[in-house]
């Protein structure tokens, strides 16, 4: 069956009244968590996962992914209206979005953002649709060494391509790896690093850690900054919306370039945040004339938003096809997949076509729903930020703790949320990246298992990681990702230093 | 009191190093060598722990170096090291954290519904300057919506204390 | 005399049982604690019972399912320990309840659990890739004997049912396999279909899809008699066409995994009788038969002394294997 037929079949799965309802609910909830600082996409999705246990996996992933799109849209709203990025990936949108809104063109800024976001998402899904069939052909060639190579590649990419100090990335990554080893290890059948606490026997849930790191951690940062949200009025005028849509084709070059950047960063583990910054930077250096960037340039909104959303949707592909998430939210969703009893990886396309294609089809529909809903409800959600922090702050805190409790009904997890809240706050203040920690918690144990299985298969010889062209190629790419950026950085520093001295 | 970035960097590096050491020591009791069926259970945590210790030492050393540099700049009339947390910040964070810890402890004893009602009502009353009645209404409203969403719609039981059974809610 | 005695005994039994059931009934929602993650075999087991209880009107109280699959299910049994005497919690597991404490240091022991019933036995089969050179179990074992350590057996987890069975095959036949642990039956299945391992011992339900698609085929089943009749699944063959392992030369009469229901220790006998009766009604329902057919499990109903006897036998024979392999933690 061709991709097109599969996609049509997927639409059959996705477009049912129940699923449409879930999409609307997901997008709306996503808007709320996107708008509220302290509740972002990764921990919004974490909070929702326990609620999906009673749904079938297809409905569950539709709900979660719709929430993700909603959160991406919601994050841009507060960036533009309040100069507060609701999501890390919408930081770049504040640069030109807020100035444009301040100068009285808030409708134009919002419309530009949402339309480019929609365009970005759409190109992302089209790319997934085209590549997905090809991914499933790979299905059966992945044994334990290949899986290990892929996890190695993901870790290498995070260390090599991340913008934070490499040693701080390493600290975050290894901390996550250690956390993932706590508890009963099913592969060796032994209990590890529990230090006698039976609460730790079942391990530390990454969901609880994410809720602490992102939820409580971000909230503490907000508290430190003084609990005040100041915003621009947010009435949406339909005529302005249409006028703005009409001016969009003028920026086709920016849109196309940003979408490409987003697709690349989404498929490689760069993630939406890196994509939006990169796209903004390139748009700025590519512009020739006109108002300076940072004063409300349309391209300054289009570039980060398009890239952000195309990266966000493309991040689903490596998650589904390889089991390698390229953003924190994708990592959380992948954890959800495993909880529902699905094994992410190439086999998923072969064994669960309804799930995969239902999800892909739903991405077309829910992004459309997202654009419409966000335009219709922006004033309402922006009003949430006018609720005094003394009320909304504690509510967010309570939601985080309730969410953590529902993960495994354990009161011990409440203390973990507190602890990781502090860790998240300190880490972000001191420029330790958090995403590698989450990635390591989700993938660490799988990587270790794959390594262990490979060693059993090869009787302890590392040669198994270079035993065939497939695994050798993946390992080589991983090593290159680890080494090349460092060499380039060292080289450029070296070149720059010479003329100075 | 002011916390400087230097202090925070040093403290964090020491703690991450300690985490690495704890893991490495804990792993030794599991065996960290190789056996017939591949690496022993402690192999992975042991070496990852060592890497974490090494990276923490690196961060410690570079924090000290940055501090020396900044002090040197400061005495040369340059820019002094940025303060990490001022008195005001510490105050605000401390109060917020304090309320949160009390909320967690209250939740353990009284359940999530009573805990969150009290916590939200208290914050709205003290920090939000709402009248006690409306503050309490906000807290109770929040708890009721939790109940409806979790227990009624999704059938997920939340933590309950001694009070709910008296109201006939299990 | 004997007749009269039996009748009297029966009468007393009924007299004793009837008020017992009337005496106790659940007064609040019942929690089903599942010793596996959502979507696993044990989870399906518990959710099928939940649905049957409510649909057939056996219990009117609402039933909440909680998944506590951490630590190979230990989390659920620890939870039972913490809820001693609580008559509104049932724990769903397999034989892991009594086997786990043997292989790892656990804070709970069998003292903390009270067995209620076993409702099904899940079968184990030897599966190989469809194009594998071996046609029978004997050929397969001979191949492993010819080159010790070259035939790889994949299985779910270490020191658990799968590895125990593989060790048991080794001990009975003298063959030497290489055992590779994976996280669950699904993962193992994919590895076999991809040819990365040579065989596995998945349950019928876990392997059905790949047998249907012709990627793998069964060699034999570890049960005393052949499995129940079914529609042809692949190449005109159904479950009943699979030889038992004993008839194809591996001298293991029976190796099956019970699906069990437990209560925290210290619960009143009346409450236990209530649940035993409710579960018996489930086991007799059509919905239950449908579940057994769909998952190709064998239906049983064990409770009381019968169940205790079954557990003791199963525990003793399994711990023998553990001891021979040097897995026991004490």
The pLDDT of C86-95, averaged and rounded, is 94
The whole-number pLDDT of residue C272 equals: 93
Contact A202 C68 (CB under 8 A): yes
Q: Which residue among A193, A418, A426 sits closest to B23, beta carbon to beta carbon?
A: A193
pLDDT at A154: 72
Average the pLDDT over each of B52-66, B68-82, C312-326 and give the range with the smallest value.
Answer: B68-82
Q: What is the pLDDT of residue A500?
A: 39
Of C75, C181, C190, Cβ closest to residue A202: C75
Q: Which of residues 6-45 of B touch C (CB under 8 A)?
A: 37
CB C136 within 8 A of CB C248: yes
Confidence tier at A415 by pLDDT (50, 70, 90) = very high
- Residues forming CATH 3.40.190.150 domain(s) in chain C: 28-121+257-325
- pLDDT for res C15: 43
Q: Tokens standing for A65?
A: 């992914």
Query: So what's the ipTM on this one?
Result: 0.94
Rounded to an integer, what distance in angstroms lies between the CA atom of residue A90 and that of residue A493? 30
Which CATH architecture describes the domain C28-121+257-325? 3-Layer(aba) Sandwich (3.40)
Shortest distance, CA A383 to any CA of chain B (angstroms): 17
**More confident site: A288 or C193:** C193
Rounded Cα–Cα distance for residues C173 and C153 (Å): 15
* pLDDT value of residue A376: 84
Whether C28 and B157 lie within 8 Å, measured CB to CB: no
Domain boundaries, chain B: 3-84, 87-167
Q: How far apart are CA A170 and CA A152, in angstroms?
A: 14
User: Rounded distance, CA C245 to CA C22, Å?
Assistant: 47
According to the model, what pLDDT value does residue A232 have? Answer: 62
Q: Minimal CA–CA distance to C49: which of C325, C304, C308, C281?
A: C281
Amino acid A51: pLDDT: 77
What ranges in A38-143 are assigned the alpha helix state H? Answer: 41-48, 57-82, 91-102, 106-137
- DSSP states of C312-325: HHHHHHHHHHHHHH
Average pLDDT over residues A240-258: 89
Percent of chain C having pLDDT more than 70? 92
Mean pLDDT confidence for B34-45: 83
Q: What residue of C is the nearest CA neighbor of B156? A: C64
In angstroms, the CA A378 to CA A186 distance is 47
Q: Report CB contact under 8 Å: C64, B170.
A: no
Residue A297: which of A317, A307, A313, A283 has the closest Cα? Answer: A283
Residue C114 DSSP SS3: strand
For range A36-58, the mean pLDDT: 76
Which of A149, A189, A344, A349 should we substitute to test contact with C (largest number of C Cβ atoms within 10 Å)? A189
The whole-number pLDDT of residue A194 equals: 87
Is residue C171's pLDDT more than 80?
yes
The verdict on A411 touching B (C-beta cutoff 8 Å) is yes
Confidence at C12, pLDDT banded by 50, 70, 90: very low
CB contact under 8 A, B156 and C179: no
The answer, yes or no, to whether residue A247 has pLDDT greater than 50, is yes
Higher-pLDDT residue of C5 and C141 is: C141
- For A456, the closest chain C residue by CA position comes to C180
SS3 content of chain C, % helix, strand, coil (to 5): 45, 20, 35
- Which residues share a beta bridge with C262? C91, C115
- What residue spans in chain C does CATH classification 3.40.190.10 cover? 125-241
**Which pLDDT belongs to residue C205?**
81
CA distance C330 to C328: 6
Q: Give the pLDDT band (50/70/90) at residue A81.
A: confident
Query: Is some CB atom of chain C closer than 8 A to the CB atom of B153?
Result: no
* Residue A238 distance to chain C (closest CA, Å): 46
- The whole-chain average pLDDT of chain B stands at 88
Q: How many residues does chain C have?
A: 330
Contact (Cβ atoms closer than 8 angstroms) between residue A434 and residue A329:
no
Report the DSSP beta bridge partners of residue C302.
Answer: C118
Chain B contact set for A451 (CB, 8 A) = 39, 44
- Tell me the CB-side half-sphere exposure of residue C279, using CA atoms within 13 A: 30
Q: What share of chain A is helix, strand, coil (3-state, %, to 5)?
A: 80, 0, 20
Give the pLDDT confidence of A360-411 residue by residue, as tens digits. 999 999 999 988 888 888 777 767 767 888 888 898 899 889 888 887 788 9
pLDDT in tens, C125-151: 999 999 999 999 999 999 999 999 899
pLDDT digits (tens, 9 = 90+) for C26-61: 888 899 998 987 666 788 788 889 888 888 888 888
Contact map slice: C 34-93 vs B, CB within 8 A: 62, 64, 66
State residue A63's pLDDT score. Answer: 92
Cα(C90)–Cα(C119) distance, integer angstroms: 14
Distance from the Cα of B124 to chain C's closest Cα (Å) equals 34
Judged against a pLDDT cut of 90, whether residue A242 lies above it is answered with no
Q: Identify the residue with better confidence: B1 or A358.
A: A358
Q: Do C70 and A190 touch (CB under 8 A)?
A: no
Q: Which pLDDT belongs to residue C156?
A: 87
**Domain segments of chain A as ranges:** 3-492
CATH homologous superfamily, domain C125-241:
Periplasmic binding protein-like II (3.40.190.10)
CB contact under 8 A, A202 and C182: no
pLDDT at C165: 94
- Confidence grade of residue A229 (pLDDT, cut at 50, 70, 90): low
CA distance A437 to B34: 27
Q: Which residues of B touch C28 (CB under 8 A)?
A: 170
Write out chain B residues lying below 8 Å of A430, CB-based. 5, 8-9, 12
Q: Chains touching chain A at 3 or more Cβ pairs under 8 angstroms? A: B, C
For chain A, give the mean pLDDT: 82
- Return the percentage of chain A with pLDDT > 70, whole number: 86
Report pLDDT for C21. Answer: 47
Q: Which two tokens stand for residue A332?
A: 């959380």
What average pLDDT does this structure show over C107-119? Answer: 92
Q: Which residue of A has its CA nearest to B111?
A: A411
- Closest chain B residue to the Cα of C61, Cα to Cα: B170
Q: Are A49 and A207 in contact (CB under 8 A)?
A: yes
Tell me if C93 sits within 8 A of C49, measured CB to CB: no
Quote the tokens at residue A223: 């508290």
pLDDT score recorded for residue A491: 66
B109 in contact with A, Cβ within 8 Å: no
Q: By percentage, how much of chain A surpasses pLDDT 90?
A: 21
Residues of chain C found within 8 Å of residue B170, distances taken between Cβ atoms: 28-29
Helix (H) or strand (E) holding B119: helix B112-126
Q: What angle do CA A172, A174, A175 make, to 5 degrees?
A: 65
Residues of chain B with Cβ-Cβ distance to A181 below 8 Å are 23, 44-45, 48
Query: What is the band of A498 on the pLDDT scale with cuts at 50, 70, 90?
Result: very low
Interval C148-167 mean pLDDT: 91
Chain B contact for C31 (CB, 8 A cutoff): yes
Q: Does position C102 have pLDDT exceeding 70, yes or no?
A: yes
pLDDT confidence band for A234 (50 / 70 / 90): low
């Amino acid at each position: 069956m061709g991709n097109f037929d599969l996609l049509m079949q997927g639409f059959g799965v996705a477009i049912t009244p129940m699923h449409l309802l879930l999409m609307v609910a997901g997008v709306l909830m996503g808007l709320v968590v996107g708008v509220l600082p302290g509740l972002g996409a990764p921990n919004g999705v974490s909070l929702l996962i326990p609620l999906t246990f009673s749904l079938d996996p297809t409905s569950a992933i539709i709900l979660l992914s719709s929430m993700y799109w909603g959160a991406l849209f919601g994050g841009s709203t507060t960036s533009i209206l309040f100069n507060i990025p609701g999501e890390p990936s919408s930081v770049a949108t504040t640069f030109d979005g807020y100035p444009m809104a301040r100068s009285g063109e808030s409708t134009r800024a919002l419309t530009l953002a949402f339309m480019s976001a929609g365009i970005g998402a759409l190109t992302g899904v089209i790319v997934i649709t085209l590549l997905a069939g090809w991914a499933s052909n790979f299905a059966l060639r992945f044994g334990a060494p290949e899986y290990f190579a892929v996890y190695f590649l993901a870790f290498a990419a995070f260390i090599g391509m991340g913008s934070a100090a490499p040693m701080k990335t390493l600290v975050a990554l290894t901390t996550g790896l250690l956390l993932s080893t706590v508890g009963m290890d099913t592969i060796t059948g032994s209990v590890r690093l529990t230090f006698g606490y039976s609460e730790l026997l079942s391990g530390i849930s990454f969901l609880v850690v994410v809720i602490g790191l992102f939820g409580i951690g971000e909230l503490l940062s907000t508290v430190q900054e003084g609990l005040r949200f100041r915003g621009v009025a947010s009435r949406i005028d339909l005529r302005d919306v249409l006028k703005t849509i009409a001016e969009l084709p003028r920026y086709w070059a920016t849109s196309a370039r940003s979408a490409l950047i987003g697709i690349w960063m989404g498929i490689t583990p760069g993630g939406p945040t890196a994509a939006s910054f990169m796209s903004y930077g390139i748009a700025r250096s590519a512009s020739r004339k006109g108002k300076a960037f940072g004063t409300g340039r349309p391209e300054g909104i289009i570039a980060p938003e398009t890239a952000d959303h195309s990266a966000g949707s493309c991040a689903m592909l490596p998650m589904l096809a390889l089991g390698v998430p390229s953003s924190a939210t994708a990592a959380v969703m992948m954890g959800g997949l495993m909880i529902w009893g699905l094994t992410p990886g190439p086999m998923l396309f072969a064994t669960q076509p309804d799930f995969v294609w239902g999800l892909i089809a739903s991405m077309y529909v829910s992004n459309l729903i997202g654009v419409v809903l966000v335009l219709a409800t922006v004033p309402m959600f922006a009003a949430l930020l006018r609720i005094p922090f003394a009320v909304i702050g504690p509510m967010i805190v309570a939601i985080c703790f309730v969410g953590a409790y529902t993960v495994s009904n354990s009161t011990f997890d409440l203390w973990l949320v507190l602890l990781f809240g502090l860790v998240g706050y300190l880490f972000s203040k001191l420029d330790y990246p958090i995403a590698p920690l989450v990635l390591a918690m989700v993938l660490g144990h799988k990587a270790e298992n794959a390594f262990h299985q490979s060693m059993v298969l090869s009787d302890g010889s590392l040669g198994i990681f270079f035993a065939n062209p497939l695994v050798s190629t993946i390992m080589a790419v991983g090593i290159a990702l680890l080494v090349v950026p460092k060499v380039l950085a060292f080289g450029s520093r070296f070149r720059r230093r010479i003329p100075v001295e | 009191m002011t916390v400087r970035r230097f202090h925070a960097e040093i403290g964090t590096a020491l703690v991450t190093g300690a985490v690495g050491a704890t893991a490495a020591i804990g792993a030794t009791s599991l065996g960290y060598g190789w056996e017939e069926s591949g690496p022993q259970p402690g192999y992975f945590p042991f070496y990852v722990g060592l890497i974490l210790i090494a990276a923490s030492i690196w961060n410690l050393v570079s924090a000290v170096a940055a501090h020396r540099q900044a002090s040197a700049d400061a005495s040369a009339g340059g820019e002094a090291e940025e303060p990490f947390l001022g008195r005001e910040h510490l105050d605000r964070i401390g109060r917020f954290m304090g309320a949160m810890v009390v909320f967690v402890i209250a939740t353990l004893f009284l359940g999530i519904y009573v805990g969150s009602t009290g916590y939200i009502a208290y914050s709205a009353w003290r920090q939000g300057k709402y009248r006690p009645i409306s503050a309490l209404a906000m807290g109770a409203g929040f708890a009721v919506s939790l109940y409806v969403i979790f227990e009624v719609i999704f059938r997920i039981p939340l933590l309950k204390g001694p009070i709910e059974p008296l109201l006939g809610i299990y | 005399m004997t007749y009269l005695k039996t009748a009297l005994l029966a009468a007393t039994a009924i007299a004793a049982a009837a008020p017992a059931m009337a005496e106790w009934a659940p007064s609040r929602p019942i929690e089903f604690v599942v010793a596996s993650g959502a979507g696993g075999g044990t989870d399906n087991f518990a959710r099928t019972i939940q649905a049957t209880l409510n649909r057939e009107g056996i219990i009117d109280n609402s039933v909440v399912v909680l998944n506590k699959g951490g630590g190979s299910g230990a989390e659920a049994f620890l939870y039972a320990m913490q809820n001693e005497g609580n008559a509104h919690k049932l724990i769903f597991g397999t034989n892991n309840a009594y086997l786990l404490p043997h292989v790892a240091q656990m804070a709970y022991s069998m003292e903390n659990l009270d067995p209620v019933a076993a409702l099904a036995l899940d079968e184990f089969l030897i599966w190989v890739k469809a194009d594998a050179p071996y046609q029978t179990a004997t050929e397969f074992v001979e191949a492993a004997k010819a080159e010790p350590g070259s035939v790889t057996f994949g299985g779910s987890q270490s020191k658990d049912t799968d590895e125990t069975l593989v060790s048991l095959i080794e001990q009975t036949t003298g063959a030497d396999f290489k055992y590779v642990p994976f996280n669950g039956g699904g993962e193992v299945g994919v590895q076999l279909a991809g040819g990365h391992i040579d065989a596995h011992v998945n349950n019928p339900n876990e392997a059905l899809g790949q047998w249907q698609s012709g990627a793998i085929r069964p060699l034999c089943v570890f049960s005393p008699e052949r499995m129940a009749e079914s529609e042809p699944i692949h190449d005109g063959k159904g479950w009943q066409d699979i030889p038992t392992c004993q008839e194809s030369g591996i001298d293991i009469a029976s190796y099956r995994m019970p699906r069990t229901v437990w209560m925290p220790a210290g619960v009143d006998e009346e409450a236990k009788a209530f649940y035993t009766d409710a579960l018996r009604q489930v086991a007799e329902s059509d919905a239950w038969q449908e579940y057994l057919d769909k998952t190709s499990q064998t239906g049983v109903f064990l409770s009381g002394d019968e169940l205790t006897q079954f557990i003791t036998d199963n525990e003793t024979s399994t711990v023998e294997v553990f001891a021979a392999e040097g897995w026991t933690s004490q």
